[in-house]
Amino acid sequence: MGKRLLALLLALVIALSVAACTAKPASTAAPSASPASEAKQTPGKTIKFKDSTGREVDVPAEIKRIAVTGPSAQTVVFALAPDMLVGVATPFADSAANFLNEKYLKLPVLGQLYGGKGQINLEALLAAAPQVVIDIGDTTGNIAADMDSLAKQTGIPFVHISASIGKMGETYKMLGELLGLKNEAKVLGDYCDEIYNKTTAIANSAKKVSVLYCLGDKGINVIAQKSYHSEAIDLLADNKAVVASPSSKGTGNEVDMEQILKWDPEVIIFAPDSVYKTVSKDPSWQKLKAISSGRYYEVPYGMHNWMGFPPSVQRYMGMLWLTKILYPKEATYDLYTEIQRYYKLFYHCDLTQEQYKAMMVNSLG
Amino acid sequence: MSLTVENLKFAYGRQEVLKGISFTASEGELLSVLGCNGAGKSTLFKCMLGLLEGYSGRILADGQDIKTLSLRKLARKTAYIPQLHYPAFSYSVFDMVLMGTAHRVSPMASPGDKEKIRTHNALEQMGIAGLAERSYNHLSGGEQQLVLMARALAQEARILILDEPTASLDFGNRIRVLSKIRELVGNGYTVIQSTHDPENAFMYSDRVLAVKSGRVIAEGAPSEILTEELMRELYGVEVDVRSLDDDKIRICIPKNRRK
Amino acid sequence: MKKRFSGTKVIWLLALMLAAAAVCSFCLGRFSVSPRQLFGILLSRIIYIEPFWTGTMEVVVFNIRLPRILLACLVGCSLSAAGAAYQGVFQNPMASPDLLGASSGAAFGAALAILLGASSAIITLSAFLSGIVSVALVLLIGQRAPGKKVVNLILAGIMVSSIASAATSFVKLVADPSNQLPAITYWLMGSLSGAKRGELLFAAIPMAIGLIPLFAFRWRINILSLGDDEARSMGVNVNMLRTAAALCATLLTAASVSVSGMIGWVGLVMPHICRRLAGNDYRFLMPASMLGGAFFMLLIDNISRNLLSTEIPIGILTAFIGAPFFIYLILRRGGRI
């Protein structure tokens, strides 16, 4: 018995060494890892950069290689400096293959960081040799300490830049300063501010349309007012879903059909993969004025869910779309042109009319 | 070393289990406690071993009230040989017997050579030195019982308390174990055993204590105790008690048997 | 069950395997450092050597690999020792370090701290303390309840664990899904990634406090495993010993969980493998479990950090290896454990 277990343990050791052997070439083959790490040894000029936590971080004056800590940062940084990324935090969605340049799809996946721990393999990160690691998102109390300790451990500067839906201009401004891309960053920041101001101005000038955002396989989960994911809806419309404790989860709050009938909004938007296709035949849904009048839509999904999972810059597309369907008279812009512009700016690709139409097939009524 | 129980009373909550038991087991004596299930034998034993507190009355081991003795000191006087059961983990016979020396070893230490010699001697004394490296859980019931007795010897206690030592043994092992017990009594040990077997109690013990519903209903030499009346009272069955071999043996024959 | 090797031999063998695994672990990693460079880097701490390696390599070896190897050893050793101790003092071969709610409690503490936006040091501390508090609660309930102590403690453990799990679920429900929720989920899966010297020091102290007494009174755990009455009649203070062992094992578990997250199965599986190798006698089983646990964790962590370009949560790996072994145990158990 003992011998057999010993054999099992030995087999594990062997399995491990095989795993290690297959892993080794991968890390040596990591694109230009060694030259970059050698280059990092030559002490370059550094400058002080004050990040959103107020930390003064020494960063190289000329940054060419960067890494990100999570999907939000990835989306934001990808728009500004896609060629500086030495890897991505999470792989791009499958649909990205239709749009993105192939070289971006081949970027190594370095993993995501949550607080002090995470999927990021620090050695893989060091092998990819970024000059700075960028974290973008809410500025919470613990971020400074986590950034400091990671920087200390790896010897790479970690910076945090705060971001929120109304203030992307500032986020891009800081990012542009860090990466020496002030002009490019200004274009993106201005775009964000422009869309934000344009859509909220339209919504504020009109009478707010009442809306429900329904999701789930029965369509009876709603994104409630004042919840984490309702930011864009709350800004642009009268979100009818008012519940006692708004869930901040992506699945929203579960309610019942009776409650939805009681709210009876003018417009309903459904999450992709929810019940958009079947509601017109469902007798209880038919009673709703949004359904009977045909004012129900499916949230577009192109690279990401436009209403924000994860909540990042793609929500500007969601705001453009939502304003267009809620206030068709006031929103005089051409949605295709606007979305095409977004794709060019943030995804660095040309969105064709065909691609656009395929994406919007259920979203424009 | 003798063991004396004086007016022992014990209750589990409201339920009185022992209602004033008194007796003495003297050195070099085998005392058998007879009684049906639920008579209070196990509770009595637990009290004698210091496992139950909150009894009234006194229990004296070697003249000392066991309440005043520490666990380790008590372990030097009384040893417990439990009913056979399989421990969660199996140990070698040697390791099992070695555990009897626990009271000699400081809590933070492991037993040394002296304890190992004692263990070896105890195994020799029980005639099971050949089993030392065997696994306890794989022994026969009789062998296991001998191992537990060896452990009690390694413990150096002179009062041995056995809980139904022959209950689950086959015919041969029962005789083997009982003769070993007799041998120990001959060496001056005080042995108290509970048993369900009146005939064996008659043949092997020096004195018998009959317990019913928490009281001693009879006490004395086996020949005084093993009567038809007492069997009826203790177990509620009708038996003929026959005497054989000049009253060296008594057997109980059920009345409603095959004619 | 009959052991095949003498206990001492098994311990030496495990110690050798652990040393070999530690050396191998130093050579493995996504950042390639040749054995020659590695040797040079390590030796340069003792004598001066003209560096023929890069500064990044030094960072990798000293700041990333070294703390991680040490932490893996400590966590494996602690969880395995805690499991072995629990199995003995609760006379239950299926006992594992989360028996008295130390891990579930620690998980709740960590989840709560993440929810409140605490820094990673505070998360660790909060996990550790709430693990201890959970077990203290279990011991308190177990002391007050009448009847069989072992059963009471196990039942109290199950109750407190499930309360802590429910509380953790609630924290997950209200947590911010964009960053807190994944952080909690990731934490619960267990990982040694991000091992730092600070964490190492934080964990090492309670671990030492737990390991030393467990090692010292290991022989008495044998006696306790026979049952309370038997152990007491042999002069062993059962309640004190069990409480002491449970406290030590709790310190070990809470310290491990607080730095590495929930890593299941090691504490159940490793003691059993060591039982097969070294026998059930805790004089050999305890040190064998400590060494074996460290070895196993080191092995698993090497897979966790080398197999894919991103970290695989170590709790998932231990479950994948541990659960089949558990089934094997159930199938083969009959009187053999």
What single-letter amino acid sits at A51? D
Interface contact flag, C281 B95, Cβ < 8 Å: yes
- pLDDT score at A43: 56
- As its CATH architecture, domain C7-11+83-332 has Orthogonal Bundle (1.10)
The answer to whether A147 touches A53, Cβ cutoff 8 Å, is yes
Chains A+C touching (3+ CB pairs under 8 Å): yes
Residues whose CB falls within 8 Å of the CB of residue C82, separated by 6 or more in sequence, listed in order: C97, C210, C248, C249, C250, C252, C253, C256, C267
**Whole-angstrom distance, CA of residue B66 vs CA of residue B51:** 11
Confidence of residue A116 (pLDDT cuts 50, 70, 90): low
DSSP letter string, C189-219:
H---TT--HHHHHHHHHHHHHHHHHHHHTHH
State in Å, rounded, how far the first CA of chain C is from the last one: 7
What single-letter amino acid sits at C319? A
Query: CA-nearest residue of chain A to C21?
Result: A13
**Average pLDDT rounded to a whole number, residues B139-161:** 94
What is the nearest CA distance from A35 to chain C, expressed in angstroms? Answer: 11
Which ipTM was obtained for this model? 0.90
- pLDDT score at C307: 87
Domain ranges of chain A: 3-20+34-193, 207-359
Q: C76 at the B interface (CB within 8 A)?
A: no
The reply to whether A207-359 shares the fold of A3-20+34-193 is yes
Q: C337 at the A interface (CB within 8 A)?
A: no
Burial of residue B69 (CB within 10 Å: 0-12, 13-18, 19+) is middle
**Average pLDDT rounded to a whole number, residues A329-358:** 91
CA angle B42/B45/B51 to nearest 5° reads 105
H/E element holding A17? helix A2-28
Domain ranges of chain C: 7-11+83-332
The per-residue pLDDT for range A269-307, each reduced to its tens digit, is 998 888 888 888 888 888 888 888 889 999 998 888 888
What is the nearest CA distance from C268 to chain B, expressed in angstroms? Answer: 14
Q: Which residue has the higher pLDDT, A138 or C27?
A: C27
What is the nearest CA distance from C124 to chain A, expressed in angstroms? Answer: 11
Which two structure tokens, joined as six digits, stand for A332?
């005089």
Q: C50 at the B interface (CB within 8 A)?
A: no
- pLDDT score at C32: 82
Residue B111 CB coordination number (10 Å): 20
Confidence of residue C5 (pLDDT cuts 50, 70, 90): low
Cross-chain CB nearest to C32 (options A27, A109, A146): A27
SS3 A78: helix
What is the nearest CA distance from C302 to chain A, expressed in angstroms? Answer: 7
Interface contact flag, C234 B102, Cβ < 8 Å: yes
Q: Could you tell me the CA-to-CA distances from C103 to C19, C140, C261 in Å, in that order?
A: 29, 18, 9
- Model confidence at C36: pLDDT above 90: no
Cis peptide before A310 (omega within 30 of 0): yes
CATH superfamily of the domain spanning A207-359: Nitrogenase molybdenum iron protein domain (3.40.50.1980)
On chain A, the residues whose CB falls within 8 A of the CB of C178 are 72, 137-138, 228, 310-311
CATH domain A3-20+34-193 topology: Rossmann fold (3.40.50)
Q: State residue A271 phi and psi, 5-degree precision.
A: -70, 155
- pLDDT score at A31: 36
Q: C157 at the A interface (CB within 8 A)?
A: no
The per-residue pLDDT for range B2-31, each reduced to its tens digit, is 999 999 999 988 889 999 999 999 999 999
**Whole-angstrom distance, CA of residue A59 vs CA of residue A49:** 7
Interface contact flag, B80 C236, Cβ < 8 Å: no
What single-letter amino acid sits at C324? P
Residue A88 forms beta bridges with which residues?
A109
Which two structure tokens, joined as six digits, stand for B1?
């070393």
Confidence of residue A26 (pLDDT cuts 50, 70, 90): very low
- pLDDT score at C1: 41
**Whole-angstrom distance, CA of residue A364 vs CA of residue A356:** 11
- Model confidence at C336: pLDDT above 70: no
**Whole-angstrom distance, CA of residue C10 vs CA of residue B64:** 47
Interface contact flag, C227 B155, Cβ < 8 Å: no
The per-residue pLDDT for range B200-210, each reduced to its tens digit, is 888 899 999 99
Residues whose CB falls within 8 Å of the CB of residue B113, separated by 6 or more in sequence, listed in order: none
SS3 B132: coil
The answer to whether C96 touches C268, Cβ cutoff 8 Å, is yes
- pLDDT score at A12: 52
What residue spans of chain C are helical by DSSP H?
Answer: 7-27, 35-43, 55-59, 66-89, 102-115, 120-144, 149-174, 180-189, 197-216, 218-224, 228-233, 238-260, 266-278, 282-306, 314-332
- Max Cα-Cα span within chain C: 70
Q: What percent of chain A has pLDDT over 70?
A: 84
On chain A, the residues whose CB falls within 8 A of the CB of C181 are 249
Q: Could you tell me the CA-to-CA distances from A26 to A30, A37, C64 in Å, in that order?
A: 6, 16, 19
Which two structure tokens, joined as six digits, stand for B231?
């069997």
What residue spans of B92-197 are helical by DSSP H?
Answer: 93-98, 113-126, 141-154, 171-186
- pLDDT score at A20: 41
